[in-house]
Structure 1
Amino acid sequence: MTSPRFSDDPAAPVQAIFDTFQRRVDDGHTPASAFVLFSAEGIELEGGFGQLQLGGSAPQGRTAFRIASCTKSFTCATLLLLRDRGLLDLDTPITAFVPEFTPNTPPSDPVTPTVRMLMTMSAGLPTDDPWGDRQEAMTRAELGALLRAGVPTVSIPGTAFEYSNLGYALLGQVIASVTQRPYIEVVTEELLRPLRLDSTGFRAQDAGSELALGYRRSGDRWVELPFSDPGVFSPMGGLFSTPHDLARWAGWLASAFSPAGAQDGPLSPASRREMQQIHRSIAADPDAPETSHGEQGYGLGLFVERDPVWGTQAYHSGGYPGFSTHMRWSHEAQIGVVGFENATYSGAKVPVAEALDLAVRHLGRRVVGAAPWPETVALREAAESLVVAWDDSVADRIFADNVAPDIPYDERVATIASAIESVGGLEPEHTRDASEARGDSPAHLVWHIPGRNGRLRCEIRLTPTTPAAIQTFIVTAV
């Protein structure tokens, strides 16, 4: 275990994070549970509980697990590497690389899925969990026979999200076709070795000496499951990795959004950010116990969630016979968690999401939004002075030419006076908390001015000009 470096008083939330993963073992979800909490500075916290093999010790940072569908992010990163080198057009139909592929689309609308559609889970192929998780060792000849027999589609390619492991098996064939090298060799030489993910690989022996065994629950006992061999479905879920290695991978992807600068590596920060954008939205589940107020979708090998309060998170789960893995990180808070369990589809997403929520909310990693420009800060000061004591000359100096025609000054003065009255007047000497101001871009700020019975919410948005001016000025009582 390492000590958190980012909180003055971390004891309670840190213990809560440990308890979150310990309960997974205590409640019988899995024989073992392991996690790493990481930030831009590296590993902040880690722990392991239970038995990596029945009767054995607890897992730790160098214990290897199957990471299953977390592999998809490695597959997409490799495809983007090829794209960036000018070797691959993502909008090429998949049949250019896998000619046997024959989707059963309507004769009146015979759309052939492209590489990009497969990467974004919008190729129209039906969801194939858990079938796909048992196909890893399939040979190229067997894949060809499956494809020639025809592949059903459930939507017109390019129109809807549908999670497909078969689609990622096809993407592995794209990589092999473009490079004229085996998929596993390309990923290993282009990503794993340059990033020094030395305990990550497609075979158990590649993952180091300490290996977690996988189990499924049968009544009151755990039944050990064998490992599948690499094959044409490896691009959708074949990797083994350790908590330390997967945290390094996730941290490298997350660093593309770091204000201090992205970590070096084989894929550019721009392409890493591209992976973590919503390319295909996902409709909310009407039967879900809680409906998110944000936005959810699939990027390139990663899911993306945008929450109006807590910002954007990128993540992916991995479920395989005997294993469950989840990796998740916050763009704004610059912190993430990877978690591992050695039980079939046990749901490692649950403790990882809970741990990241604890970290963001309680361990000093508040989501702060976009850092404002210096001129935004200066214009905020001037705008606040108008709230306290309106001055037409100041307004003329800081406002864009749309402000007065939109709402004349006398109406704005009356609206502000009414808002001040509704909060019982302003505190005569209020202390401004600069960190309280938030914005969705450097040209936007929202802040509050305390009143005796409430507070004023103030908002400005600047023009896209040099010098900048205020185009939006809103003051309301809260």
Structure 2
Amino acid sequence: MSKSFLAATALALRDDGLLDLHAPATDYVPELVAARFDGSPVALTLDDLLSNRGGLSEDNPWGDAHLGVSRAHMAAVVAAGLTLASSPGTEYQYSNLGISLIGRAIESVTGRPVEDVVRERMLDPLNLRHTRPSADLYGEGADLAAGFRTFDDGSTFAAEPFVGSGALACIGSLFSTVHDVARWAHFLGSAFDDPSTDNAATDGATADGAVLSAASRRELQTARTLIPIGSKPPGRELDGIGYGYGLVVEHDRRFGRIVQHAGGLPGFSSHMRWQTATGIGVIVYGNSDAFGAGAVAADVLADVLTRVDAPAFVVRPWPETVAAARRIDELIAEGRPLSDAAGLLTDNVLRDVPVDVRERRLAAALAEVGAVRADAVPFTERIVAAPDRSALRWVVPCVRGTLVCDVHLVGLHEPLVQEFAIRVADAGGRKPRDESARVTDHHLVALD
């Protein structure tokens, strides 16, 4: 899980103008000039490497064994020429070596060991005083968990020595505690508290913003490289998964964005994951690589989020979105023609579905569900969902059923409705009939 600390440090240096993630990686790691794909030179960037799409093949077993090798040795390995498994920028391959080269780039622009830069940029300002890159930095007698391996399904365990801290240490050698990593997860996850109020002036004035801006922390937690889902985790449905910068980003169909990363070395297993909508997270450590911290953490987080009925996302609609929806709601309640909303609509709306067609469809829906109830609760209490700021869904109670209404605006200087629909609700009264479950069903709509 050290990669997120490395990635955050790289973005802090980027923000200070010391690193360009989209410049040729050879500007910072000249040895990469010898890298080849199908025998031809390649153009790699730090962005490619940090988001695991640099074309280097998956290397977990090899990487674990080389965490402690010297920088001179690894520089020679890279200078000899790396053979890429895919063209850079095209597909996901989890490469410890590739991300470790971010550490070499940091050293090239700072002239200092990357571990020192991570400590000064991240660990010290956030008071993560129990997080250190090497066992010998804790002092004699420190209570460090020992690692163990089993080759007989847990009947016996053999002690496993620490792998050491060397050229690849920046991607996996940090020691830490549950408390420190929970603080780290909060630091990252809090960037999503309310992005609408984030700006350089106010964010830079906060302690967390001074370490790394909320915008840059969100960059870390935004998927950049598609990861094939493969077999679905038991009991969970993922709409997508990708690699950000040093972090994995899941799009869970019930809980929205889940950010996570595993840690695994011979003798150890760890996992951190949090939901950005609520900041609720789970940290799991195990001192055996047979422990499976990831599965435990995923189950625990899903259970906690279910128990508190966590929203998948908090949406704050534009005032224009709410105003347009309210106007259409009034027209339906008053039995007035939908064309009376023409001033709120883009030119395409009444061409895409002409007024007479819309009126016939609404009349057919009302024939099925009955007249609009006069005793309906206020409009704002009938809002049920919002995919994003530009869209809103609300319900209209009728005598024998419910109508579900949707508007979607286009973000012009003065936003206008580009689509709207009125449909009969299913038995649950919150979704149109035959509409599949969506993560937006669990968005919390906040009206400021």
Among 391, 402, 405, the residue aligned to 1:455: 402
Give the 5 Å matches for 1:317-396: 317-392=262-337, 394-396=340-342
Among 106, 115, 118, the residue aligned to 1:175: 106
Quote the residue 1:272 is aligned against: 217
Among 130, 147, 170, the residue aligned to 1:214: 147
- The letter for the 2-side match of 1:337 is V
In 2, distance between residues paired with 1:288 and 1:264? 35
Give the 5 Å matches for 1:393-408: 394-408=340-354
C-alpha deviation, 1:361, in angstroms: 2.3
Contact 2:382 2:394 in 1 (8 A): no
- Residues 73 and 410 from structure 1, CA distance in 2 versus in 1: closer, same or farther, beyond 3 angstroms? same
C-alpha deviation, 1:449, in angstroms: 3.0
Contact 1:368 1:438 in 2 (8 A): no
- The letter for the 2-side match of 1:227 is F
Query: TM-score, normalised on structure 1?
Result: 0.79
Contact 2:36 2:42 in 1 (8 A): no
Contact 2:382 2:396 in 1 (8 A): no
Quote the residue 2:386 is aligned against: 439
Quote the residue 1:248 is aligned against: 183
Contact 2:257 2:312 in 1 (8 A): no
C-alpha deviation, 1:232, in angstroms: 0.5
SS at structure 2 position matched to 1:297 = strand
- Residues 430 and 217 from structure 1, CA distance in 2 versus in 1: closer, same or farther, beyond 3 angstroms? farther
- Residues 317 and 421 from structure 1, CA distance in 2 versus in 1: closer, same or farther, beyond 3 angstroms? farther
In 1, distance between residues paired with 2:248 and 2:345? 41
Quote the residue 1:159 is aligned against: 90
Q: Which segment drifts farther, 341-350 or 187-196?
A: 341-350
Quote the residue 2:375 is aligned against: 429
Matched, 1:224 2:137: no
Contact 1:316 1:327 in 2 (8 A): yes
Contact 1:318 1:325 in 2 (8 A): yes
**Which of structures 1 and 2 has the larger relative contact order (alpha carbons within 8 angstroms, sep 6+)?**
1
Contact 1:202 1:238 in 2 (8 A): yes
Quote the residue 1:313 is aligned against: 258
Contact 2:236 2:252 in 1 (8 A): no
Among 379, 394, 411, the residue aligned to 1:464: 411
C-alpha deviation, 1:469, in angstroms: 3.2
Give the 5 Å matches for 1:5-44: none
Matched, 1:420 2:366: yes
Unmatched segments (≥5 aa) in structure 1: 1-69
In 2, distance between residues paired with 1:470 and 1:97? 49
In 1, distance between residues paired with 2:260 and 2:128? 19
Contact 2:238 2:250 in 1 (8 A): no
Quote the residue 1:21 is aligned against: none
Contact 2:383 2:392 in 1 (8 A): no
Matched, 1:204 2:139: no
State the number of aligned residues.
Answer: 408
Matched, 1:132 2:63: yes
C-alpha deviation, 1:445, in angstroms: 0.7
Quote the residue 1:299 is aligned against: 244
Contact 1:113 1:157 in 2 (8 A): yes
Contact 1:320 1:345 in 2 (8 A): no
In 2, distance between residues paired with 1:322 and 1:235? 19
- Residues 456 and 287 from structure 1, CA distance in 2 versus in 1: closer, same or farther, beyond 3 angstroms? closer
C-alpha deviation, 1:71, in angstroms: 0.5
In 2, distance between residues paired with 1:90 and 1:345? 36
